Amino acid sequence: MKTTYVEASKPEDFVLIENLAHEIWHEYYPEIIGLEQVVYMLKKFQNSTYMQHQVQESFVYFLIYREDHPAGYLSYQIQKDQLFLSKMYLLDKFRGQKIGKESLDFVEENAVALQLPKIRLTVNKDNLNAIKAYESAGFVNYGEAVTDISDGFVMDDYLMEKNIELKR
């Protein structure tokens, strides 16, 4: 089966990502962060308007397709000396099919093409499946961060990074 990545560029792309976010977050994250925080974070960070604004701040969004079916989405920010992987989410029915690994490979290929020697990300400390996947892909934990996102909610994350070998 073929996985493809389509850069989000039109308002309808971001609406599709917002809809995917609602489905993915409701099926996966209530057990990790609770339903109230899921609803809050979807409203604040996973809406089409917010995401389109992020594109103006050097974020790039991609829809992930398996065959012709939307399977999820990812986003990264191009920074001075690194690529920050901001989001990578898959629908439940597409997990366990190596799409996550393929998506991390895709992100790494982009980092190489952009000549960025490092990929960094944050991951919730209780998201054990994601942590295991990132470690398997060569990411290492280099710290922790607790970020107040207001309304009494925090993101309690590990900081992870992977050094990329660039060809000169």
Which distant-in-sequence residues (6+ apart) come within 8 Å of 67 by Cβ? 1, 2
Whether residue 167 has pLDDT greater than 80: no
When pLDDT is averaged across residues 119-127 and rounded to a whole number, the result is 96
Question: How does pLDDT run across 89-117, given as a tens digit for each residue?
Answer: 999 999 989 999 999 999 999 999 999 99
- CATH topology assigned to domain 3-121: Aminopeptidase (3.40.630)
- Measured CA to CA in angstroms, residue 136 lies from 89, 90, 129 at distances of 17, 18, 11
Hey, where are the domains in the chain? 3-121
Q: Is pLDDT at 168 greater than 80 in this prediction?
A: no
CA distances from 56 to 39, 53, 121 (A): 25, 5, 20
pLDDT, tens digit (0-9, with 9 covering 90-100), for 10-24:
999 999 999 999 999
